[in-house]
Amino acid sequence: MSSPSDVRLLVLHALRLKGVAGVGAVAGAVGIDAPVVEREVDELASLGLVVHREGLLNGWQLTVAGRSEHERLLADELDTTGARPVVERSYRRFRTLNPGVLDACSRWQVRELSGHLVRNDHDDPAYDEKVLNALSDALTDVRPMSERLGEALERFRPYAPHLEEALDRAWAGEREYVTKPMIPSFHTVWFELHEDLLATLGLDRASESESKET
């Protein structure tokens, strides 16, 4: 049986993954009613763990103290649930799949014609189909990993369904659901899964790039 995370951890975690987000976006990401999220962010703000940002990016954001508290809660969760081995194995598996997904997303945006890289104008259905097939293969490969993660920690359960929904929408002609930021596109969800694995294990991208692990 999977272990559910507490509300405070889930709210901090959503903000860690999204950077800046409103109450509605956090609620949708973690599957908690918006009024519950609103009460929690108000409490977190009073503790100096989150701050509200105004401007082009409008919403809640972790403070330095909030990031430290989030890291502490994640470490405690791994210890109390015994989920670390599953997350570590899943992370290693993810790293083998990540280059192919990043390559497919790049090919969705640009393509080579006559030896030059040009913007993909999506006028070649056969080309786009090959890219979508590559992402479909990645989804098939990542789904068992996502299921194992979800069995260990419930907050990992939504990733595979969200990837599948994004891909279904892309196949249906909504091309933005492959790589467009700020919406739950395939790349956005994949990026957040990557960030989730790193954060859960207390890693960062700098340490990952220095690792010789494949």
Q: Where are the domains of the chain?
A: 7-81, 84-210
Q: What is the pTM of this model?
A: 0.86
> Is the Cβ–Cβ distance between 156 and 146 less than 8 Å?
yes
- Collapsing DSSP to helix, strand or coil, 5 comes out as coil
pLDDT in tens, 168-207: 999 999 999 999 998 999 999 999 999 999 999 998 777 6
Specify the pLDDT at position 209: 62
Q: What are phi and psi of 157, to 5 degrees?
A: -60, -40
CA–CA gap between residue 72 and residue 189 (Å, rounded): 24
Residue 15: partners with Cβ closer than 8 Å, 6 or more residues away: 21, 26, 50, 60, 61, 62, 66, 70
CA triple 140-129-185, angle to 5 deg: 60
- Residue 163 in this model has a pLDDT that exceeds 90: yes
Tokens 């920690």, residue? Answer: 153
pLDDT in tens, 25-77: 999 888 889 999 999 999 999 999 999 998 878 899 999 999 999 999 999 99
Among residues 112, 120, 131, 129, which one has the least CA distance to residue 187?
Answer: 131
Specify the pLDDT at position 210: 53
Specify the pLDDT at position 137: 97
- Collapsing DSSP to helix, strand or coil, 3 comes out as strand
Instruction: For residue 116, give both structure tokens.
Output: 């030059």
31: number of Cβ within 10 Å = 12
Considering the segment(s) 7-81 as one domain, its CATH architecture is: Orthogonal Bundle (1.10)
pLDDT in tens, 79-102: 999 999 999 999 999 999 999 999
